[in-house]
Amino acid sequence: MTTDSRPTQGRARLAVPFILLVFLLIGSGLAVWLSVTSSKLHVGPEGVVVYNVPDLASASSTVSGKTVDGISCRTESKEVVKYHVHVHVTIYFNGDMQRLPAGIGITPPHAVEQYPQGPFIDVGIYDCLYWLHTHVPDGIVHVEAPSKQSFTLGQFFDIWNQPLSKGQVGPDKGSVVIFENGKRQLEDPRMVPLIPHGDIQIDVGSPIVPFQPFAFKVTGGCGAGTNSCSSGAG
């Protein structure tokens, strides 16, 4: 008597693409928490993965143009960039991923550039741009300053006009744990530095998601070291 092995073989064939996807994600440095599936991500106009998850809060709460923590808001014509680096920020609330929205640190009306990979929010002729800002909901914080200097996560949240403390991140409330480049930060969350190519993970509530390393390289006219910020995407 023989046993029909076709169902088992079918399941094995179905598992192969999933296994390959896992290896590809790990190989590219994208360690994805189990609550985010491959169908919920795509590569955006900065060449960085964008996850289809909720925004932590709206970018519309950005301060309206006044100087914040010594950081000014410059119009496109007055923007001077001598120091340009990127930091990636991911948020987890009770284990579920959230993201930074596009347009933090850019006052309305925004200039919206449309690309096949998605929209790119930029400064227009009637608005202004803070030195710390986001263009795409891919987690990339752009640090574009007139000189090399140190900035903190607290300054970024102040520009966004969202709370950041040991017990709250934006509207999310709970115990806050922050990792940067895999190391747990023990200081006040507001004092976490925005270092060049930093990889920051913010956990609010429980469970604490193990640090998920994220490899990224911003491409186009907004790459590190450029003195302007048009995406240059095709």
Before 109, cis peptide (omega within 30)?
A: yes
* Rg of the chain over all Cα atoms, to the nearest angstrom: 20
Question: The whole model's pTM is what?
Answer: 0.81
| Nearest CA among 94, 97, 93 for reference residue 33 | 97
Burial (0-12, 13-18, 19+ Cβ within 10 Å), 15? exposed
**Digit-coded pLDDT (tens) for 128-138:** 999 999 999 99
**Digit-coded pLDDT (tens) for 21-77:** 343 344 334 444 444 555 589 999 999 999 999 999 999 999 999 999 999 999 888
Confidence of residue 91 (pLDDT cuts 50, 70, 90): very high
Q: Which of 1-5, 130-134, 221-225 has the highest mean pLDDT?
A: 130-134
**Digit-coded pLDDT (tens) for 132-191:** 999 999 999 999 999 999 999 999 999 999 999 999 999 999 999 999 999 999 999 999
